[in-house]
Amino acid sequence: ISLCKPAMGYSFAAGTTDGPGMFDFKQGNCLLILSISFPYLWQTQIIEVQILRLGQLAIIAVPAEFTYTLKAGGFPADTLSVIAGLSNDYGDYVATYEEYQIQRYEGASTIFGRRTLDGYIQNFKILAENMATGVPSEPGPNPPNLLSKQLSFLPPVIFDRPPLGKHFGDVLVDCQKTYENTSFERSYFGSHSNSSVNVTFVSANPRNSIGQTSKTFLTVEMLKNEGRWEVMATDANWETKFEWRITSMLLGESSATITWDIPSYMAPGTYVIKHFGYSKSLFGKSLSGTITPFSGRSSTFNVLASRA
Do the domain assignments include residue 166?
no
Q: Are residues 210 and 118 in the same domain?
A: no
Q: Decide if 161 is inside a domain.
A: no
User: Both 204 and 116 in a single domain?
Assistant: no
pLDDT score of 71: 58
Shared domain check, 137 and 69: yes
Instruction: Note the pLDDT of residue 299.
Output: 97
Return the bridge partners of 234, or none. Answer: 219
Q: Within this chain, do residues 130 and 28 fall inside the same structural domain, yes or no? A: yes
CATH classification of the domain holding 211:
2.60.40.2300
Specify whether 212 is located in the same domain as 271.
Answer: yes
Q: What is residue 27's predicted lDDT score, i.e. its pLDDT?
A: 77
pLDDT of residue 287: 56
Nearby residues of 143 by Cβ (< 8 Å), 6 or more positions away: 44, 45, 46, 48, 89
pLDDT at 272: 98
Note down the domain range covering 81: 7-149
* Final residue of a structural domain among 149, 180, 211: 149
User: Are 181 and 141 within one domain?
Assistant: no
Last residue of a domain, one of 117, 149, 181: 149
Q: One-letter amino acid identity for 6?
A: P
Q: What is the pTM of this model?
A: 0.64
- In the prediction, which pLDDT does 4 show? 87
Q: Which of 56, 50, 65 is nearest to 128 (CA)?
A: 50
132 shares a domain with 199: no
Q: Would you state the pLDDT for residue 7?
A: 86
CB 126 within 8 A of CB 137: yes
Specify if 160 maps to a domain: no
Query: Do 97 and 130 fall within a single domain?
Result: yes
Number of domains in the chain: 2
Taking alpha carbons only, the member of 203, 196, 42 closest to residue 109 is 42
Residues of the chain with pLDDT under 70: 32, 34, 65-74, 182-194, 284-288, 307-308
Q: In the listed set 84, 119, 149, which residue is the last one of a domain according to the structure? A: 149
Question: Is residue 1 in some structural domain?
Answer: no
